[in-house]
Amino acid sequence: MPDDTRTAGPPASGGAPQESRQDPPVSPGESESEGETGSPVTYLRLGVDLELDPTSDAITYQTSRIHKIENLQICPHLKRLALNANDIEKIENLESTPELEELELYQNRVRKIEGLSTLSHLRVLDLSFNKVRKIENLETAVKLVKLYLSSNKIQVIEGLETLTRLELLELGSNRIREIQGIATLTELKELWLGKNKITEMKLPPLLNLQRLSIQSNRLTRWNDSLFSSCPSLEELYLSHNRLTGAIPEAIGKLKKLKILDLGANAVDDMRAVAQLPELEELW
């Protein structure tokens, strides 16, 4: 049963180590500040302590005690930047990487979506496990195909109107109460909304949607409009809600449905699933 967080969990190293007063002095390239416990934390700098190859189109530094995105002008043809599990607080200094296609800042301390206006080729943005409160400043990211924002502090689905090429949207483990703001995402194939506070399964017409998860929310009743709005659904995950009674006959409109997950609900009449010719798994 899929979860609405990324398949790769938090790194085993647990983040930036703390330095004691007995440790050697900080080298010229390093910066030092206080961690959450008040003890000094030594950060490493891109292009100073951590090598940047001018000929490379990809940079990957995970759990490397990076506090700031900087010095990327050294790599003008960069296409992928992955700085997962660091201590980055701000998206900045990306103006010199206009060819960037993938930006991964999974598990950092980013509070605001910003600094992306020059990235017109961006296709993948991963800000899962950060401190983002609002979806904003994505108007120019019109080529975005995958957007990961799980495990943040987002309350409203908004700011996505121009992302008409988006195929995957992950918003699991936030504070969302209503499915809205996605009517223009007509190319969407995967929508992950598990572990929120959603009370109604009402969606706009999304004719290409294949995977939908509203697991671990507050759904109490079925909404038949879902079945006509998303006729291409192949996987529907609704476990751990408050659904009761019978599965509605209208579910028969989902002729391509292969997986239906209703675990941890109080559904007691499954007869309607007999109308689903492609169904392979029922939980």
70-83 pLDDT, tens digit per residue, is: 999 999 999 999 99
**Number of structural domains found in the chain:** 2
Residues of the chain with pLDDT > 90, as a percent, come to 86
Instruction: Please give the pLDDT value at position 9.
Output: 33
DSSP category for residue 272: G
Rounded CA separation 41/255 (Å): 56
If asked whether residues 149 and 37 sit together in one domain, one would say yes
Instruction: Please give the pLDDT value at position 8.
Output: 32
Q: What is the CATH number of the domain that holds 238?
A: 3.80.10.10
* Strand, helix or coil for residue 275: helix
If asked whether residues 60 and 132 sit together in one domain, one would say yes
- Classify residue 110: in a domain, yes or no: yes
Structure token pair of residue 237 = 């995950």
- Classify residue 22: in a domain, yes or no: no
Q: What is the dihedral of CA 163, 192, 230, 232, to 10 degrees?
A: 100
If asked whether residues 140 and 207 sit together in one domain, one would say no
Instruction: Please give the pLDDT value at position 35.
Output: 52
Backbone angles phi, psi at 227, to 5 degrees: -70, -30
Rounded CA separation 133/214 (Å): 20
pLDDT digits (tens, 9 = 90+) for 205-220: 999 999 999 999 999 9
Contact 173, 194 (CB under 8 A): yes
Rounded CA separation 191/242 (Å): 20
- Classify residue 91: in a domain, yes or no: yes
Structure token pair of residue 254 = 């989902």
- Classify residue 86: in a domain, yes or no: yes
Tell me the residue range of the domain where 260 lies.
191-283
If asked whether residues 146 and 195 sit together in one domain, one would say no
Structure token pair of residue 142 = 């019109």
Q: Look at the chain and count its residues.
A: 283
- Classify residue 202: in a domain, yes or no: yes
Instruction: Please give the pLDDT value at position 41.
Output: 74
Given 153, 180, 201, which residue is the final one in a domain?
153
- Classify residue 210: in a domain, yes or no: yes
If asked whether residues 273 and 210 sit together in one domain, one would say yes
- Classify residue 214: in a domain, yes or no: yes
If asked whether residues 84 and 195 sit together in one domain, one would say no
Beta strands in the chain (DSSP E): 31-34, 40-43, 58-60, 80-82, 102-104, 124-126, 146-148, 168-170, 190-192, 211-213, 235-237, 244-246, 259-261, 266-269, 281-282
If asked whether residues 83 and 199 sit together in one domain, one would say no
- Classify residue 5: in a domain, yes or no: no
pLDDT per residue as tens, the chain (283 positions)? 444 444 333 232 233 222 222 333 333 344 445 555 555 779 999 999 999 999 999 999 999 999 999 999 999 999 999 999 999 999 999 999 999 999 999 999 999 999 999 999 999 999 999 999 999 999 999 999 999 999 999 999 999 999 999 999 999 999 999 999 999 999 999 999 999 999 999 999 999 999 999 999 999 999 999 999 999 999 999 999 999 999 999 999 999 999 999 999 999 999 999 999 999 999 9
If asked whether residues 149 and 211 sit together in one domain, one would say no
If asked whether residues 133 and 80 sit together in one domain, one would say yes
